[in-house]
């Protein structure tokens, strides 16, 4: 465990040093990141994509900025397809960093804070055995679980990191596509309505899934309450 912690610490340190070397620090402080990446994308798409991944992964893990910020950059700079892939990948890297921090450094400190969220407490710390892959699918596609909190929570579980990272990437594609496709539509001169329509369709599906999930959760809660009341009545008799 100590060796793992050391290697992970060195990994974070290396990541930080790479960020200082590659990231456009001046443009970040001046608020010109979007324009900088757009200019770089025209010169060198791969380098611009790399900068985006590092910038958004670090910002997501340590600054907890809203995900829509990264989707705005991805959609306008890299357009619908590559914007969606890069946005989902950067979010997955960010989630992976939080996962490792939760597993190896913040395990005891973060758990009490996680348990304050009712959904996190029920689905991660209730003591019931759950299919973690199915849980990962639900938490990545249904927008009722706080993104940053669930990443730390998964670090406390026994799910393998490789499975967590790959599944997170795949399951986050629909949610990121909703934003990146819409923002890509703002920059597309040919048929932007198509982009907005696709984004709206994804939004409807995600809202429907969220509604069904909350309804199922409410039914289970009422069922537990009713069962508790019946037990009290039986004991009183």
pTM of the model as a whole: 0.75
Percent of the chain's residues with pLDDT above 70: 72
Torsion sign (Cα): 201, 204, 210, 211: negative
Residue 21 contacts by C-beta under 8 Å, 6 or more apart in sequence? none
* pLDDT in the model for residue 29: 43
Write out the two tokens for 108: 């005891």
* pLDDT in the model for residue 5: 61
* pLDDT in the model for residue 81: 93
> What is the largest distance, in Å, between two alpha-carbon atoms of the chain?
80
């Amino acid at each position: 465990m100590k060796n793992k912690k050391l290697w992970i610490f060195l990994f974070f340190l290396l990541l930080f040093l790479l960020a200082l070397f590659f990231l456009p620090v001046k443009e970040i402080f001046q608020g010109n990141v979007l324009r900088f990446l757009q200019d770089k994308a025209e010169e060198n798409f791969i380098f611009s994509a790399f900068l985006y991944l590092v910038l958004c992964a670090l910002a997501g893990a340590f600054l907890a900025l809203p995900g829509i910020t990264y989707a705005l950059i991805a959609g306008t700079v890299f357009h619908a397809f590559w914007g969606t892939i890069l946005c989902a990948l950067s979010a997955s890297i960010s989630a992976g960093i939080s996962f490792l921090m939760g597993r190896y450094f913040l395990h005891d400190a973060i758990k009490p804070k996680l348990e304050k969220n009712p959904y996190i407490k029920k689905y991660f710390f209730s003591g019931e055995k759950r299919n973690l892959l199915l849980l990962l699918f639900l938490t990545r596609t249904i927008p009722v679980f706080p993104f940053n909190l669930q990443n730390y929570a998964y670090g406390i579980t026994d799910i393998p990191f490789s499975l967590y990272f790959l599944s997170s990437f795949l399951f986050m594609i629909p949610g990121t596509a909703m934003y990146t496709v819409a923002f890509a539509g703002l920059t597309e001169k040919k048929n932007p309505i198509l982009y907005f329509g696709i984004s709206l369709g994804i939004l409807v599906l995600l809202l429907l899934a969220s509604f069904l999930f909350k309804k199922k959760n409410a039914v289970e809660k009422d069922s537990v309450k009713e069962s508790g009341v019946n037990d009290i009545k039986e004991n009183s008799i």
